[in-house]
Structure 1
Amino acid sequence: MPPTEQYGLVFDGDLPPMRSLRTAWLLALFLGFAGADRFYLHKPVTGTLKLLTLGGAGLWWLIDLLRITNEYATDGASMPLAGTNSLRRGLRLASTVLVITLAGAVVCVSAAPVTGTVTATVAAMNALLHPAPPPPAKEWVTVAEASATKPPGPLVTLTGRLHIEYTFTGAAVAYLQPVKGPALTVLSLAKAGAGAIGISLAPGTYTLIVSTTGTLWHLTAQEYRLPG
């Protein structure tokens, strides 16, 4: 049995590509009632619900126009959306103007205004223009780094899903030694090479062990989680 199967090690391959912020926003604007933006972001369940409810009678459509422009917005794989900060600010302004315009139009054409409508509208606008601080966002955190000049050390993973990038000028083997139990082979090269792999293992503390015949090498392990 291969060592990877013996110790339950799974290689996930390369990370999925980042989805475009501009494309997601345009889909949300023009095809949001059909859930096209959520299908594009690999969220088929909520995309189907949005389609069946015609964008939640318009409310879901407006909410997603603002949500996509949030700097912490992610796709279905928890990957951030690709786009510059200036683009994000511009789209956020356009979404806010559109929401305010539609809200004003609804109030103006109401046949019988209800007591408290103005107060509710002002409160809703304040909530849109001054949203509550977002919760902490996930980011790529380096949990271990070693090179020819920097010896390997401890590795602490909270999620158990690691993205490892490496460069070796000779044959190399890298292990992760848990506090208890046998060591896990995470990389085995018969000759020099460079690349990236994904692995899954139990969360916990490990000791990174690297053996190589090359004189120049570098290895970095990261995981996507809340910082700190």
Structure 2
Amino acid sequence: MTLTEQHGLFFEGELPPMRSLRTAWLLALFLGIAGADRFYLRQPVSGTLKLLTLGGLGIWWIIDLFRITNEYAADGASMPLAGTNVLRRGLRVASAVLVAALAGVLICVSAAPLAGTVTAIKALLDPVPPPPTKEWVTVAESSSTKAPASLVTLTGRVHIEYKFTGPAVAYLQPVKGPAIAVLSLGKAGGAGAIGVTVEPGTYTLIVSATGTAWTLTAQEFRIPG
């Protein structure tokens, strides 16, 4: 007579074998989206639902990782899972680490497009002005009706356009030092353009002409301002 029979305990059939805690957890980790852990634990109905919902869109998958490590976790036949408490604690820590890592990855992946969207919105609301570009800037003008003009050059390379109806002489007088001749025309005068290279600085544009209705314009290719 067996021990159970001696105490008056009788079973109609043998108890089903205990399911492994480690195997159930590994199935929940790698195939939990398909409900493999639930099928292994003799829970076909919830396993099918988990399969059809892809692990409850991931939520059910995470819950089962921790549920299996519970001290009172059991399979569909109400049999406890075979495994030590040390193993349960270790798997519980591993579940927490995996979920934290997954959350970090999701945050990083979602933060990149969000940051790009915020940057685009800020650019629309507060557009950055385009960088300044070089252009031809008039640095001095003189004519038959204007007095000698002040010329300030930043690059030292000046483009001069002129039109005279008679003899003319034009020169640049620096603040210190001798004057620099830039143009000399005979009796017939003329119209045209010349390039002059001088030291960057401030000059006085002085023109001497006997004709009428003459003009002289000095320009420089640089950033305005």
* RCO comparison, higher one (Cα < 8 Å, 6+): 1
TM bucket, shorter chain? 0.3 to 0.5
Larger radius of gyration: 2
